[in-house]
Amino acid sequence: MVPDPSTLPTVVPVGDNPTPIWGMSVAERLRRIVAARGLRIGEAGGGAVLLANLTFVFDPSWLPHLLARPGTILTRDGVPVLAHVAAADADRIAAAMRADQPVAPGGLAVIAAEDEAGIFNEALRKRERPFAERLTPASVPAIERASYVGAYKGVTDLLTKYLWPEWALWLTRRCARAGISPNQVTAIGSLLCIVATVAFWYGWFWSGLAIGLVFMVLDTVDGKLARCTITSSALGNAWDHGVDLVHPPFWWWAWATGCAAYGRPLSHDAFVAVIAAMLFGYVAQRLIEGAFIARFGMHIHVWERFDSRFRLVTARRNPNMVILFAGLLIGRPDWGIIAVAAWTMLSLVVHLVRLVQAMAAKARGRRIVSWLA
């Protein structure tokens, strides 16, 4: 449900909280969440209001959920956290927030944040459990971790899921406290990406891998930082995704070229075949993913459980770098790039088969929905 812009409530903060989170006050965090939704903060008037209890912090996804549900209270242990209510109910609910006491629903719908069922995210076609927690100095680390984990909403590769999280969480916290912006992180990462490309070109594979590793971690940090600090921007999104989209083919080309300087040159025919396979496979997979989104309204990697599991290892940058690392370990970077080319083509076949299977299933009358729902 999408609320009518003309009926959007005024957001009214209730209480105060001196404990900072992600390098900002709770009031500032609320202001950013509200501004990102095109709402305004003010005093309760004669119309509907959305009361926000500053004793608590909540996942930003709760805001649109309640905006679409007038007459609803979000609670934690019975205490109101957010409440989208008419002016007639505002005073008694605000009083309960200030007193840190449960409130009688009085005909209003109640959503308990601790409910295991969670909520359904319409945009992502998946069920999730956004957080809403009491903010105290002792609870900050756990809440920041929950905020960080909740900042990634999709499925991802094995490195991002299993290897990066603790490194990226540590860096995200440090950047937030130091006032480093997501775009500054992206700028540093972009420079490192270029340096890694040059290193690969000259056959300095170990140096290139080390620099590339830092870039790949920062590539996670900038997005996490933007979402955790509520500072996402159109420029940052375009810059980050633009770098992600453009640089992989240049890395593969540089690696294949650098094999000669390393002492393991590819033959002319092998070089042409590898580059052709990787460029064609990379572009074709992206086109298939776009076609799946256009036809079914969701990403191919969230259709069935198999697709989410295959996303862990599909021929994207991070899994490909694992293959190249394995080849370099045995002193055969040439075998590594050939293996990446072969894996790229195999991944292309898998994606193409999944697209055809989804189209055939829909033609038979089956509804195509995400298994995450």
Strands 109-112 and 72-76: parallel
The one-letter amino acid at 149: V
Q: Rounded to whole angstroms, what are the CA distances from 203 to 95, 191, 274, 334, 342?
A: 67, 19, 17, 11, 21
Strands (E) across 113-243 are located at 119-121, 126-128, 132-134
Output the six-digit token pair for 179. 């006032």
Q: Rounded to whole angstroms, what are the CA distances from 308 to 124, 155, 160, 331?
A: 14, 6, 14, 33
Strands 126-128 and 132-134: unpaired
Q: Rounded to whole angstroms, what are the CA distances from 316 to 103, 161, 190, 245, 254?
A: 50, 14, 18, 10, 16
Given a contact cutoff of 8 angstroms between Cβ atoms, the answer to whether 50 and 9 are in contact is yes
Q: What is the pLDDT of residue 372?
A: 82
The one-letter amino acid at 234: A
Q: Is 227 helix (H, G, I), strand (E, B) or coil?
A: helix
Alpha carbon dihedral 262, 187, 148, 26, in 10-degree steps, equals: 160
Given a contact cutoff of 8 angstroms between Cβ atoms, the answer to whether 296 and 303 are in contact is yes
CA distance 59 to 148: 10
Q: What is the DSSP letter of 267?
A: P
Categorise residue 126: left if φ over 0, alpha if ψ from -120 to 50, beta otherwise: beta
On whether the pTM is more than 0.85, the answer is: yes
Strands 79-85 and 132-134: unpaired
- Our CA angle for 291, 295, 299, nearest 5°, is 65
Output the six-digit token pair for 78. 């019975």
CA distance 323 to 163: 15
- Integer distance in angstroms from the first to the last C-alpha of the chain? 17
**Crossing angle of helices 205-228 and 317-329, rounded to 10°:** 150
Beta bridge mates, 128: 119
Q: What is the pLDDT of residue 2?
A: 47
Q: For each successive 10 residues of the chain (373 residues), what is the average pLDDT? A: 61 95 95 91 81 95 91 94 92 94 90 79 64 96 92 82 92 95 96 98 98 95 94 88 92 97 96 96 95 94 95 95 97 97 97 97 94 81
